Each structure stands twice: as C-alpha cells, then as structure tokens.
C-alpha cells in the first residue's frame, strides 16, 4: 500500500526559530496538502499545492509559512519564526484527482509533532 512519509516525527524548537517539515507524497498523486491538528481538536486546513504552486490557503497560512516542492518528490512546509501557538501535529496529505466518480480520498502521513518552547 503506497504511503505518505513525513519527517521528523517529533520536533522541538525554540520560539522564533525556523523549522522545516518534510513530506514525501505518493508518487502518482497530483495534489498535496498541509493540515494541522492542535491536541484534541479538529484537523485544520493550511494549504493546498498543485502544479508547483499554491492553489488555496487558509487564514492560518500567513507570511510566516511557505511551501515548496524542491525536487519533484519532497514537499516541505517552512515556518520562519515559530510561535508557541504553532505547537501542533502537522499532517501532510496527497490525493489524485478523478473527474469520474471514484474514491479520491486523501492519504495522510503519520504527522510531525511540533512543540515550540
């Protein structure tokens, strides 16, 4: 079963530091996403990415955040200057796009738990 791989699984960083979260989506998927989940809460959309550009982003995804697909396989989320409230589990996901009826659900990675201290 193909899977989405995320590294690292845990990251602790000091407030104000930059972090890069890495993801390897499923190779034949076209759409890539970052979501986050604060402990015990719902999964929140951050950004979607298609054809090497951002297709949609949420209000959470401000200038401190950026995404990149540097080499055709990795998909990264950078947070430039972390704040305490950025502490959360960050999930990468990927999906195919099916114009005909089909199951094009997201495949989520196992997440990176980011703790900002």
Q: Is 86 exposed, middle or buried (0-12, 13-18, 19+ CB in 10 A)?
A: buried
Residues 6 or more apart from 97 whose CB is under 8 A from it? 30, 31, 104
The CB-of-92 to other proteins minimum distance in angstroms stands at: 9
For other proteins, the closer of residues 64 and 107 by Cβ is: 107
The CB-of-20 to other proteins minimum distance in angstroms stands at: 20
Q: Binding of other proteins at residue 44 (CB under 8 A)? A: yes
For other proteins, the closer of residues 65 and 106 by Cβ is: 106
The CB-of-100 to other proteins minimum distance in angstroms stands at: 10
Tell me which residues in 49-108 interact with other proteins (CB under 8 A): 49-50, 55-56, 58, 91, 97, 101, 103-108
Residue 72, phi-psi category: left (phi > 0), alpha (psi -120 to 50), beta (remainder): left
CA distance 96 to 31: 6
CA distance 49 to 72: 12
Q: Binding of other proteins at residue 27 (CB under 8 A)? A: no
CA distance 33 to 56: 10
For other proteins, the closer of residues 67 and 116 by Cβ is: 67
By the criterion CB under 8 A, which residues form the site for other proteins? 31, 33, 41-45, 48-50, 55-56, 58, 91, 97, 101, 103-111
């Amino acid at each position: 079963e193909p899977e989405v791989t995320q590294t690292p699984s845990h990251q602790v960083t000091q407030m104000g530091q930059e972090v890069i979260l890495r993801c390897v989506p499923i190779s034949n998927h076209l759409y890539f996403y970052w979501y986050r989940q604060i402990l015990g809460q719902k999964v929140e959309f951050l950004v979607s990415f298609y054809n090497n550009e951002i297709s949609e982003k949420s209000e959470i995804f401000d200038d401190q955040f950026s995404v990149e697909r540097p080499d055709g396989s990795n998909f990264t989320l950078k947070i430039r200057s972390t704040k305490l409230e950025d502490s959360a589990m960050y999930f990468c996901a990927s999906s195919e796009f099916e114009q005909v009826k089909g199951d094009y659900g997201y495949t989520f990675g196992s997440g990176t738990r980011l703790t900002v201290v």
